[in-house]
Structures are given as structure tokens and as C-alpha cells.
Structure 1
Amino acid sequence: PLLPSLLEQTTNRARVYDIGGVLIADSSRILRPGSIIPIKPGGRLTEQKPRTENHWTRLTQWLMSSDLRVYKDIGQANGRFYPEVKAALKGETTELMMLARKRRKIVSVATPIVRGNEVRGVLLLSTVPGEIDDVQKAELFAVLFVVLGAAAATLLASFLLARTVAEPMRQLSQYANEVTRDISAVKDLPRFDDRADEVGQLARSFTLMTRALYRRIEASEKFAADVAHELKNPLTAARSTAESLIYVKTDKQRDEFIEQIQLELKRLNKLISDVADASRLDADLALQPFQEVQLKTVVNTLVETFRDLPAAEDRHLAIDIEPGLQPSAFDISGQNGRVEQVLTNLLANALSFTATGGTVTVRLRRAPLTIDMIVDDQGPGIDQDNIENIFTRFYT
């Protein structure tokens, strides 16, 4: 009665062996109270040892890669044929696995039955044949489902990445190679303005970079054309004057012609100096890194410097900075030396065209996205027809 109560509401099987390994109770063959399990001949250890291992048990143990031993289920045979049962008779609790018919797995635990500090038998508790296989199949299907889901997700992600990332990158790479061969191909660059991700940012940055390069190349070509044109004018004038020397009849005419040639050569020398300065300025702007420039400090410093120069005598220099703003509100990113050079040129020009007693005012105004620096003088100003030529190179 004790054995069925221990296994109540379970599907496990319990076998009890005596000290000699003889099966004396089996939960799968429980009889009525007072009955006994008939002992078949050969139930003792003297019977011929059944085969507890075969190629299936060895293959199963190899596939499991664990220390759990795998045997054939020997049914009602003597339990001492299992090394684990023999170990339990010595007081050790061990685990083993058995293969029933159709290679269904049975997980078992052999534990000693102790009374009065003496081992009286062994309890072999086993699962139902095939129960472990069902659990393994369920886990296998779950793992397979996860693997298939992961594979499908990987394929879908690969497809999306190929369309949204790899293909745009391939197009950018293709057009980059074309730009290296023909800079005019910059007009055909693919546009991804509608994308806010990294690919769109990269495409916009690449477009800005190539367009800046294209503008620089155009500016270099225009610069070379302007230099050739400006240098050609004094050279032509000097050449014509020199050729006319053979026709002079008086020393006075010869001196005038020589003076004209010298003027043209001086003009040519000045143009060459301007070209060198412009080239150096372009190189500095392209190579030198930008840094924080404090416009308010630059204006104050240069105005104070100009007030001590002879050119500012009898002229008033004033500063008008928008009030109510922090000094950092007039900070910009640029090259401090070049900003000072621009303001120096503007102040020198304003003072040269301002009459005695006049005023030159430097103003700073803060706009939402820009900072306006204005140099205001009281000179005659620039003709309206020449306003568009202010930023033309070498214009005189």
C-alpha cells in the first residue's frame, strides 16, 4: 500500500529490489493486499546476464555527450545487472537512462533503502517510456520554430538592408567613381533628401562635398583666366610702348615712353603680388581649421589700434554694438586672422575716403542666423553701376 501512495497522481514507475537485487515490488504490477509477485526462475543473480548495452545505447550516450550511462531496460531481471543498482546497494544514489522497446528513453534514479543504518534494498524510480522523448520533441519543435523564425527575420532584414542601405550605398559609390573621372557628373548624383536616416545624411554630405569641390575647381579656373587677362593688359601696353620707341624723334618723347613702360611694369608687379596674396589666402582658408572668433573683441581691439594711427587724425572712430546681448552672442566660427584682415581693409578704406572731421562707425547686429558687421563712413560712396563688381577679383 505504501508504494502506490507514494506514486499517487504521477506516471512514474517504482521498482524495489532486495539486497540480492531480486525484484520484490513493481508499481506497474501492484497486486491486491496480501498477494506477492511470483519470482520467475532466473530472477536471481545466478541467471545468465542479459545484455544491458548495444549499439543504440552507445550511440545515444555519445549523442548526449554527458556522464549519464545508457542501458537497455532488462524488465524483471535482477537489478544488480545495472552497475548503478549495485552502487545503490552500497549506499550511493545514482542516475541512469534506459532504452525500452522502439528506443524510447527512460530516466531512472537508483537510491538505497536504509533502515537502522543498514541498506535493506534499492528503490529504482523511472519515468514512463517515451515521456522524455515527448518532452525532447516538444523542445525540439520549439527550438526549430525559433530557428525558422530567426532565419525568416534574418532574410527579411537582409532584404530590407539590401534595398534601403546596400543599394543606395552602391549608387553613391558608383557616382563617386564617375565624379573622379568627370567632375561634371556631380549634377547627376542620386538624391535621398526624403530620408532622415544615416544614408540620407551621408548622401546630403556627399552632395555638399562634391558641389563644394566643383565650385572650387570652377573658381580656380576662373581665377586662372582672370590672372591671365589682368597680366596680359600691362604686358601688352608695355610691349606696344617698347615697340614705339624706335619711332621717337626727341629725347623728351623717349623719356615719356620709358616712364610709361615703368608704370606698366609697376602695375604688373602689383598684380603679381595681388595674385600671390590671393593664392595664399585661398590656401589658408582651405587648409587652416576654423576656430571660435569673438567679433566683439576683434572690433574693439582694431578700432583702438586705428585711433592711434596717423590716418585717423582729425577723424572720429565710433563703435555701435547692439545692446542687451551677451558678448558670446557675437561669436562665430572662422579664422581670427582673416576676419581681422577683412575689418582692417574696410577701416583703412573708410578712413581714406572720409573727410577731415568725419566719422567712421563700426556696427555689430545680431540676426536670427547671422551676425552683421557694418563699417559705415561719410565718404562719397560707390557708384551704383559698380556695386556688383565689389567682390570681383582684381577689379579696378
Structure 2
Amino acid sequence: YREIGNANGTSYREVRRALEGTTTAMLLLNEKGEQIVSTAVPIKRGGVVQGVLLMSTPPGEIDDILSEERALIWVLAIFALIATLVSSLMLARTVAGPIRRLSASAEHVSRNISARHELPDYAHRTDEVGQMASAFASMTDALYQRAEASESFAADVAHELKNPLAAARSMAEALTYAKTDEQRQEVVRQIQNELKRLNRLITDVSNASRLDAELARQQMGPVDVTSVVASVSQIFHDILSSDSRRVATAIAHAPFDGAFLVSGHAGRLGQVLTNLVDNAVSFSPEASTVTVHVRRVAGIVELTVEDEGPGIPDDRLSIIFDRFYTDRPDTEAVRGKNSGLGLSISREIIRAHGGEISAENRRGALQASDDKPLGARFVVRLPALVASARSGMTSGRRPAPVAPDRHHDASRDRV
């Protein structure tokens, strides 16, 4: 910038451009290095430039404004840096630290499952870290329970396998003492029965050991419980065609379309129902009826299997679903016919479907608790897929009936 005093204003370049009709602004520096903003505006009348208005800022005014803005920016930058450091420390203490401790504990638990109680406890926190800690604890407990179940299952299997093997070995040793052909044939028959029992046990153990993995892989979808009941009833109708016992169904009126739909696998639900019906038939006297009831109770689809047999001793109701538990009636003399896994497998299948299964005795309204029961009752409760009639309006079509898995476990495991 040069000060020209009273000289002709055209010495300023911005003025010369303004005389040409163009508004011009320029940033200049004086000898001290101070900034000056100069603006030349043409003055027009009738489209002709009559003159130029030149305006400029005092030297140093722009520098003062910039200095103030830079100072404010530095203050904001310092505050931002402090806030970043504080936030980083807080995140490291409240998030990164707990996650690091959870990771270290999880790695330790992976090497020693018994150290699951050493997981950090963040149950008091309601944020994502607390949720992650709860998920870690639940997962670890589930893994520990699975490990314990596998160990217990292996011990039970080993114990159960020893029984038929010991019996077969004893019969084989007794074969040398048989004096007549009839005695030898009887011993051979008993050995064959024990071998059949062992074969059945191995098959059932194999099925039970694969159950969890198969349930996890199988895709669940809408299943109409009434279709499963109809299919299983038809199977037993054919099986009992020459028997005095029979299987009947009693399906309650559906309050709305889709009331008996559940989310599950039709083959597995058919396996459960087949086990329960086969179990009830085996305990039913001649000319009796096993009845399968289906009804809707609130948001639950309830499936009930009732027989007219001797019932279940009250002291066995709590263990009837245990693995390898079996206690057959005196009329059933054939050994090796069941392994005691049928009801246990049924319970696992129902639990995988989010339901529950229970056993009880049938009694009359005025019957005392110590009187002989009218029979046994098994109750399966499954969460309904359609919650109400209003939500069922959008699901008018029901899935096609699917026949249950014919390769079911028909072991019969109760008294």
C-alpha cells in the first residue's frame, strides 16, 4: 500500500478497475506489514460511471481481528485437547479396562473352566459393559453345565453298558455248566436278550449324544400341533389295529385361525408325542384308551397324554425324566426293550422349543391323594406362535401337515 496524498486517485489499481464498472476489493500490506482491505465501488448514473468511492480499513485493524480469532481458536483447541484427554482416560477406566479384564478372564477360563467364578462382576452396570459381562457369565455357566452334563452322561453310559455286558458274561460262563440242550438254549436265549439290550442302549446313547447338535442345526418354522397329533394318532391306529387298546384325540375348538401354531420342528415334536403315547400304551390295561388332548391356554398350546394305567408313584415324579431311569410293570418280562432315555430326550426337545414337560397322576375330583390314581398324565406346554386373534388375522393359511419322524425313540421310561 502506498499513500498518494492529493494525487490522482487513478494511481490506485482498484480505482482504475472501478472506473471500468467493476467493483474491486484488494488486500494490501503497508511498510510495517499491517494488512489493509481496500474496496473501490463505481458510482453510476444512467449506466455511465461518474466516479469511484474508495474505502479502506485502518492499518492493523484486520490483524487485530485475526489475532483475536486465532487466540479464540487456540483456547478452543486447548479445551478440546483437555476434553479429549479426559474422555480417553474415562473410557480407558470405564470401558477399555473392564473389557481388557474380561478378555483376560475369558482366556483364563478357556484354559481352566473351574475359574469361571473369577470373572469380573459388573452386574451393577446397566451399560454395554455390564451386558457383556452378564453374557460372558451366562456363556461360561452354560459351558460349565455342558461339560458337567457330558461328564455325567459319560459316567452314566459307562455304568449302563456294564450291566448287559456283565449279565452276558455271566450267562456265557453259565453255559459251560448247562447239562441239557434245553438249558443251553435257555442260556443262549438270555445272552441274546442281553446283547439286544446292549445294542438298543448303544443306539439310544448315540441318538442322545447327537441331540443337542441336531436341534441347533435344524431350522424351526410354524408347526400346527393338531397336524402332528393327527399323524401320530394315525400311526398308532395302524400299530394297534389288532389290539384291544386304542388311541383317541380330543382337540379343543380353536378360538381363532392359527391358535395351535407353534415355532418348532414337526419331526421332533412328533418324536416327543410318539414317545409319550407309546409309553402310555405300554402301561395301559387291555381294552383301555390313551387320550391325547390339545387346547389353547392363554399364550400356550397345551398337549396332554392321558392313560388308564397304574399311574406314577409319587416318589418317582421328580426323577421320571432322568437319564436311564426305567421301571417297567411286572407284565413286561422282555428285557432290552427300552434304555431309559425316551423321556429324557423328550424333555430336551421340548426345552429346545422353549416349552416345558411335566408328569402327574390323574385323580377324581373327590378322590383322596393316597387313593389309587386313575392313570398317568403327561403335559407338554409350548409357547404359541400367534399371540391373539388380531395378530392371527394376518396368518390365515396354516402350514401343510408334516408327518413326524418315523425314526423316533420309543423307549418307555416310567412306572
For normalisation by structure 1, the TM-score amounts to 0.69
RMSD over aligned CA atoms reads 3.2
> Are 2:49 and 1:99 equivalent residues in the alignment?
no
Written as runs of structure 1 = structure 2, the 5 A alignment for 1:108-257 is 108-112=38-42, 122-257=52-187
Written as runs of structure 1 = structure 2, the 5 A alignment for 1:1-396 is 72-74=1-3, 76=5, 78=7, 82-100=12-30, 102-112=32-42, 122-310=52-240, 313=244, 315=246, 317-321=248-252, 325-326=255-256, 328-364=258-294, 371-396=301-326
| Secondary structure at 2:90 match in 1 | helix
Deviation at 1:84, TM superposition (A): 3.1
Q: 1:364 to 1:135 in 2, by over 3 A?
A: farther
Does 1 or 2 have the higher relative contact order (CA < 8 Å, sep 6+)? Answer: 2
CA contact (8 A) 2:119 2:137 kept: yes
How far apart, CA to CA, are the structure 1 residues paired with 2:22 and 2:301?
Answer: 90
CA contact (8 A) 2:254 2:260 kept: no
How far apart, CA to CA, are the structure 2 residues paired with 1:118 and 1:249?
Answer: 144
Q: 1:276 to 1:344 in 2, by over 3 A?
A: same
Deviation at 1:250, TM superposition (A): 4.2
How far apart, CA to CA, are the structure 2 residues paired with 1:331 and 1:238?
Answer: 48
**Per-residue deviation, residues 302-336 of structure 1 (Å, max 9, x unmatched):** 33554454257553513253x57445454433332
**Per-residue deviation, residues 261-295 of structure 1 (Å, max 9, x unmatched):** 22221221111121222223333123324333333
Q: Which runs of 5+ in 1 are unaligned?
A: 1-71
CA contact (8 A) 2:260 2:301 kept: yes
| Secondary structure at 1:388 match in 2 | coil
Q: 1:329 to 1:134 in 2, by over 3 A?
A: farther
Q: 1:264 to 1:201 in 2, by over 3 A?
A: same
| Matched pairs, number | 324
CA contact (8 A) 2:245 2:281 kept: no
Q: 1:248 to 1:377 in 2, by over 3 A?
A: closer
CA contact (8 A) 2:233 2:247 kept: no
Q: 1:118 to 1:138 in 2, by over 3 A?
A: same
Q: 1:266 to 1:99 in 2, by over 3 A?
A: same
- The code of the aligned residue for 1:268 comes to L
Indicate the larger mover: 187-196 or 177-186: 187-196
Indicate the larger mover: 370-379 or 138-147: 138-147
How far apart, CA to CA, are the structure 2 residues paired with 1:367 and 1:124?
Answer: 92
Deviation at 1:120, TM superposition (A): 6.8
- The code of the aligned residue for 1:150 comes to A
Deviation at 1:116, TM superposition (A): 8.5
| Secondary structure at 1:103 match in 2 | coil
Q: 1:140 to 1:115 in 2, by over 3 A?
A: same
How far apart, CA to CA, are the structure 2 residues paired with 1:263 and 1:309?
Answer: 23
For normalisation by structure 2, the TM-score amounts to 0.67
CA contact (8 A) 1:315 1:356 kept: no
Q: 1:171 to 1:300 in 2, by over 3 A?
A: farther
CA contact (8 A) 2:224 2:260 kept: yes
| Secondary structure at 1:380 match in 2 | coil
The percent of aligned pairs where both chains have the same amino acid is: 51
CA contact (8 A) 1:113 1:120 kept: yes
Structure whose residues are more often helix by fraction: 1
How far apart, CA to CA, are the structure 2 residues paired with 1:336 and 1:116?
Answer: 94
Deviation at 1:369, TM superposition (A): 7.1
How far apart, CA to CA, are the structure 2 residues paired with 1:209 and 1:368?
Answer: 32
Deviation at 1:246, TM superposition (A): 3.5
Q: Which runs of 5+ in 2 are unaligned?
A: 327-415
How far apart, CA to CA, are the structure 2 residues paired with 1:313 and 1:257?
Answer: 34
